[in-house]
């Protein structure tokens, strides 16, 4: 009988192992759900950014959603560094009646949940033409837990709509 008892696994060990596996599964599911929710929040932020641009103009939009140390890359230009300089750039180049809108196509959030990126396509609409391009934005949570872009770049490679 004692040989049989030795061959049988300890009931407590089985329960502890099962509980540990269950806990790991539940924790990993919670992590995935949290990352999915964070991705949705970043997408919503990027879409709100575009809607704000359409309603209030590019200068106001790019200022509102920028981190203080944001950097922008644009064709044929040195990097534009800092929220104030980005606003100044748009105030100089923004034309009344022209609109910039975009739609993110993809988002990813770091496991740390404080860094993310989006990319997608934009349209720059003038009274007589629409130009298309692609963009990428890198997002970081600020001290108030709000997503702000820290890097933004766009290309004009998709050309004019016909």
pLDDT, tens only, 121-158 = 999 999 999 999 999 999 999 999 999 999 999 988 77
Average pLDDT score over residue span 82-95:
92
- Residue 60: Cβ-neighbour burial (10 angstroms; 0-12, 13-18, 19+): middle
Average pLDDT score over residue span 14-26:
51
CA 32 – CA 120 distance, rounded (Å): 23
pLDDT, tens only, 111-124 = 999 999 999 999 99
Tell which wins on pLDDT, 73 or 17. Answer: 73
Q: What is the mean pLDDT of the chain?
A: 84
Q: How confident is the model at residue 24 (pLDDT cuts 50, 70, 90)?
A: very low
The answer to whether the CB of 45 falls within 8 A of the CB of 102 is no
Sheet holding 66-73, edge to edge: 80-81, 66-73, 147-160, 130-141, 115-125, 99-109
pLDDT for position 10:
54
CA 37 – CA 9 distance, rounded (Å): 41
């Amino acid at each position: 009988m004692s040989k049989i008892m030795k061959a049988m696994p300890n009931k407590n060990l089985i329960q502890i192992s099962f509980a540990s596996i269950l806990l790991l599964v539940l924790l990993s599911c919670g992590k995935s759900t949290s990352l999915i929710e964070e991705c949705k929040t970043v997408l919503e932020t990027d879409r709100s950014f575009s809607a704000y641009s359409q309603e209030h103009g590019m200068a106001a939009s790019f200022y509102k959603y920028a981190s203080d140390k944001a950097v922008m890359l644009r064709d044929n230009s040195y990097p534009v560094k800092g929220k104030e300089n980005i606003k100044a750039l748009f105030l100089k180049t923004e034309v009344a009646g022209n609109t910039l809108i975009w739609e993110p196509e993809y988002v990813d959030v770091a496991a740390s949940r404080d860094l993310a990126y989006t990319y997608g396509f934009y349209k720059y609409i003038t009274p007589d033409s629409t130009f298309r391009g692609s963009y990428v934005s890198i997002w970081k949570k600020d001290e108030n837990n709000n997503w702000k872009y820290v890097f933004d770049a766009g290309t004009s490679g998709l050309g004019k709509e016909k």
